[in-house]
Amino acid sequence: MANFCNLKEERITEVTLPNLMDKGSPHLTIGLWGFLDFDGKELQILRPPYVNVSKGAIKGKVRLYDLSSYHPGTWTLEAVVQGADNLVTWDKLTVYVRARKEDWSGDSSQWSQEKKLSSLDPLFRPAVSAVLAALRDQGFQPKIFFGWRSVAVQHQLFLQGRTKVQFSFHNAQRPDGTPNAYAADIVDSRWGWTDAAQQNGFWDALGAEARERGLVWGGDWTSFRDVAHIQSRQNSELAATKRESGL
């Protein structure tokens, strides 16, 4: 068995298998289990734990297998080869994983929930997941409207009067430009920002769940109430966050 990756940010797209497993077999069966997702919770196995893969493209001494439907996380891998003589051989693999380069362009409000989550700071992310889960338990249908967004989008929102700042915790990034937001806007998918959200107690529930996890809720602000907004940093840290982002 070999621990072969610890991907916090990006989806696994391929596993590189050394050719040492090759015993003339056209197929390889790989098992993936015992892994953690980025929230530290054990994931469901998305497919049966054993997957048959046919010979992939041979690149030098390795073959590549597409595993793009699996969650990112820490994975353990074992493999078994069925040889031509029908002999089944278990073996260990030294496996290297390369992550797909995520495309962070485009309208980030249209990204999948998973991608929006992955655009958040890794320490903020589990707190947001927990808030979403707690709201679902109460019968709400929460979704992230904005996780990270670009400064260009921020500027548009500023011009529309929907935000008071030209740089917000939504815009935070790592110095290489990878999104690393400390803020998320969360709405109930049935109500958005309409009065129904207030009438059904969604904002209050969001605020309570956020506070319980040490987050800042925009609904507590008096000068500009921002009821869908939660963040993991204090407003006093905004200038430092902007500097850290290289912006």
Alpha-carbon torsion 112, 95, 33, 40, what sign? Answer: negative
- Residue among 121 and 185 whose Cβ is closer to Zn ion: 185
Smallest distance from the beta carbon of 229 to Zn ion, in angstroms? Answer: 3
For Zn ion, which stretch binds (CB under 5 A), given 66-74, 81-89, 175-183, 187-195?
A: 175-183
The answer to the question of residue 185 lying near Zn ion (CB under 5 A) is yes
- Residue among 140 and 145 whose Cβ is closer to Zn ion: 145
Q: What's the rounded Cα separation, in Å, for the pair 121 and 142?
A: 19
Smallest distance from the beta carbon of 199 to Zn ion, in angstroms? Answer: 22
Smallest distance from the beta carbon of 170 to Zn ion, in angstroms? Answer: 6
Smallest distance from the beta carbon of 9 to Zn ion, in angstroms? Answer: 22
- Residue among 125 and 229 whose Cβ is closer to Zn ion: 229
Q: What's the rounded Cα separation, in Å, for the pair 175 and 217?
A: 26
Residue spans of beta strands (DSSP E) within the chain:
2-6, 12-18, 27-36, 50-54, 58-59, 62-66, 74-82, 88-91, 96-99, 142-146, 183-188, 216-217, 229-231
Encoded tokens for 28: 């390889």
String of b and e for 197-229 (b: at least 16 CB within 10 Å)? beeeebbebbbbbbeeeebbbbbeeeeeebbbb
Q: Which residue from 18, 19, 21 is spatially nearest to 80, judged by alpha carbons?
A: 21
- Residue among 97 and 183 whose Cβ is closer to Zn ion: 183
Smallest distance from the beta carbon of 224 to Zn ion, in angstroms? Answer: 11
Smallest distance from the beta carbon of 39 to Zn ion, in angstroms? Answer: 21
Encoded tokens for 39: 């929230």
**Residue 139 buriedness (CB in 10 A; 0-12 / 13-18 / 19+):** exposed
For Zn ion, which stretch binds (CB under 5 A), given 1-9, 79-87, 189-197, 229-237?
A: 229-237
Q: How many residues bind Zn ion (CB under 5 A)?
A: 3
For Zn ion, which stretch binds (CB under 5 A), given 97-105, 110-118, 177-185, 193-201?
A: 177-185
Out of 71, 116, 125, 229, point to the residue binding Zn ion (CB under 5 A): 229
- Residue among 97 and 230 whose Cβ is closer to Zn ion: 230
Binding footprint of Zn ion on the chain (CB under 5 A): 183, 185, 229
